[in-house]
Structure 1
């Protein structure tokens, strides 16, 4: 249990930063493209501003990812021994194809302004954005294979590849990849929109804030409905390949009488001991329509498998509803934003701006809730149906795991707390004008220093901008 908690704690930190930088890298490519097309200095200032935030977030994501990978050997050595022939190459491909690509162009992107041609710099930004997507491809492929294993053969208890095509493109991979990439883009979109709303409400950086909010509304209007559609397809895939997880998500305990269909449980208190729901509020047949796309469709109930093969129902049930509720709130905010935009009041409607500010961090909450649903929902399996989590743990004494867990908690809250505080300072500082010097040989008045600390306090900066 301590090893589970430690891995869950570390990955909860790690997943936030790559999710943010995946979308942020593509946003930077868009912003630089707009600068090259229009030569409007506001776009250039936005590029430098968000590049600083990207640099810090990317660094914290790399550090937390390195720590996480060590646990495969220290805490989950049996998993590495049994499935290393498959998981090892997949993770190595991520390093060879994505990390090297990012490392090659990241320096040019961060420090190459006015040192390389504009086209080469834009290419570097695009390559970094592509690298984040390639990295997502391999990580999700490895994780998806653990949920829906395919293309393998078992020799003397170890998994060996029989078809790399089936391994990489396993049954759940396309749906999980699309769902994760969209989630990352939407998370970044709402951060940008929330920051823009903050500036507009305070009367700061108005030109830049209007462009950020417009871009956020347009992008969210495209991606949020698409994410709902992809999520529906993903749910159908879960019902086909991981029916027990789907039953836990819906707290569906037993078959209903023929023709009655499956109700949609809006709220309940799952009672795992009695195998029922207490205080249930459900809508008849709506579960069948959503989960099977038919009027009287059925899904496998939890009681179809032994109790020791079921995941913890309550956290899966509640967290799934948290994720869905956040998604619906995003959709309502987007619709409200489009309505006020059409009336010409997008930047003046205080309730819409407050909504964007309130939803600034909502994408992170949705990603964590969804990730917990995915990972808790596959329990008790680490490789679904083939290797139990309890059988994959290393033979490490509990005291050592507890010590390392406490160390991680202390160090992470210290290091990443400081990093988050620094990001908040950057946001308070906002996008500043970036003007070249009169004599180009002297460099720039406000050099692009991605890791430079703002040289004034938040309060001083706010007074200066007023």
Structure 2
């Protein structure tokens, strides 16, 4: 029972569960702001019905994100003390800034979003929505600044085995940060878009024909259709940046063993690390060179240049293909849905089933991309600075195994409950339709609060 492997599995389980919820809330906060601004502009109460439904989803996701984030942060001390000992002077402030600037902003104003519509002016309620949306993005900024720095460290110097900041701007805006932040924000947008479209499609399938459902459905479908080609473009830029700074990761993503030109794009293979070759390979000639170097003669680094210092090939190779494959499905479905909504104002019934089935496709793509990124950094915890095995705590393997089992069991239970609550909310909203309870919004001045009902 290797404590290093078990600690990695435990942290992977924690981060996998945790990232599900910020991936929704980062973008959903901005979608809620869109709903609120559309209501302010039109006075159409259907926008507020959509807002009230999705703010419940936001609050539930935010709560689980907070709980799992706290649990995850504990592991820096319990399982990975070497991480903070070596780079705590950089990681500590960035994590603290995330709490001070983002978490409190979200936590304070979320209450107004949920319960303040009848108690504050419309302007204050709108401002609270803006504050929460900004807070979710600030949270992503600080966390991704730290994560990017771990991949492409800059702006520091080592003194007696510890990292000390020499240039905070260089630390924040390290070489991979702009690409990683953009990629994650768009991934969040796609996750929220397909969740909105998927739950709205489920509401339609159980009989909901309310305006609030249609407005949310159109928002999700068109948002997904706009973001997915942007994500493909940003993903290409991110890949080129990774090729420059982490060539071993790219070599693992492509399962390319030898540094050479005219490298094929491997669509399917079984990477064999012992034999250092691919079995059952299906590839497109020159494809990898064209994508990574933008010409067929481009030289792509191979794994044999990094023996002993490259990540495990199969997990990186397959997770990258799951991410790309899910992205292609998102592209096909969102564009098809957008076409039918634009031309006919509705969707064929099979597309409602397809969107309902793809409601959590953003989760799959995000997790696959996260595994590609994080496993692809191995054997480094901080690239070129700290090896993973040098940071793990000296704990008995049996103790770590016990907590791994406990975490995974708890997260499975919480995830089932979360999905059950989302389904319940969707079915209840479908049953209520346009008759769902709503404060008196149509006839009041925008700047005046609504008095609580007797």
TM-score, normalised by the number of residues in structure 1: 0.91
Aligned counterpart, 2:446 = none
Pairwise CA distance, 1:442: 7.7
Q: Say if 1:347 and 1:353, in contact at 8 Å, map to a contact too.
A: no
Pairwise CA distance, 1:410: 2.7
Aligned counterpart, 1:281 = 282
Give RMSD over aligned pairs: 1.7
Once residues 243 and 372 of structure 2 are traced to their aligned partners in structure 1, the CA distance between those partners, rounded to angstroms, is 14
Q: Say if 1:199 and 1:209, in contact at 8 Å, map to a contact too.
A: yes
Pairwise CA distance, 1:97: 1.2
Closer, same or farther: CA 7–435 of 1 in aligned 2, 3 Å: closer
Aligned counterpart, 1:55 = 59
Once residues 200 and 106 of structure 1 are traced to their aligned partners in structure 2, the CA distance between those partners, rounded to angstroms, is 28
Aligned counterpart, 1:458 = none
Q: Say if 2:197 and 2:359, in contact at 8 Å, map to a contact too.
A: yes
Aligned counterpart, 2:125 = 121
Closer, same or farther: CA 210–395 of 1 in aligned 2, 3 Å: same
Deviations for 1:404-434, whole angstroms, at most 9, x for unmatched residues?
2222223323334323322221122126423
Aligned counterpart, 2:303 = 302
Once residues 287 and 341 of structure 1 are traced to their aligned partners in structure 2, the CA distance between those partners, rounded to angstroms, is 36
Deviations for 1:84-125, whole angstroms, at most 9, x for unmatched residues?
001001111111111121122122222111211100100001
Q: Say if 1:196 and 1:212, in contact at 8 Å, map to a contact too.
A: yes
Aligned partner (choices 220, 245, 261) of residue 249 of structure 2: 245
Pairwise CA distance, 1:441: 9.1
**What is the total number of aligned residue pairs between the two structures?**
439
Q: Say if 2:151 and 2:383, in contact at 8 Å, map to a contact too.
A: yes
Residues 1:221 and 2:222 are matched in the alignment: no
SS at match of 2:295: coil
Once residues 441 and 173 of structure 1 are traced to their aligned partners in structure 2, the CA distance between those partners, rounded to angstroms, is 44
Once residues 438 and 343 of structure 2 are traced to their aligned partners in structure 1, the CA distance between those partners, rounded to angstroms, is 36
Matched ranges for 1:179-194 at <5 A: 179-194=183-198
Once residues 14 and 420 of structure 1 are traced to their aligned partners in structure 2, the CA distance between those partners, rounded to angstroms, is 15
Pairwise CA distance, 1:35: 1.2
TM-score, normalised by the number of residues in structure 2: 0.93
Q: Say if 1:200 and 1:347, in contact at 8 Å, map to a contact too.
A: no
Once residues 241 and 354 of structure 1 are traced to their aligned partners in structure 2, the CA distance between those partners, rounded to angstroms, is 42
Residues 1:43 and 2:47 are matched in the alignment: yes
Q: Any stretches of 5+ residues in structure 1 without a counterpart?
A: 446-466
Closer, same or farther: CA 46–444 of 1 in aligned 2, 3 Å: farther
Pairwise CA distance, 1:209: 2.2
Q: Say if 2:50 and 2:215, in contact at 8 Å, map to a contact too.
A: no
Matched ranges for 1:21-100 at <5 A: 21-100=25-104
Pairwise CA distance, 1:292: 1.3
Aligned partner (choices 151, 162, 167) of residue 163 of structure 1: 167
Deviations for 1:375-431, whole angstroms, at most 9, x for unmatched residues?
101101101122110111011221221122222223323334323322221122126
Once residues 157 and 370 of structure 1 are traced to their aligned partners in structure 2, the CA distance between those partners, rounded to angstroms, is 32
Aligned counterpart, 1:293 = 294
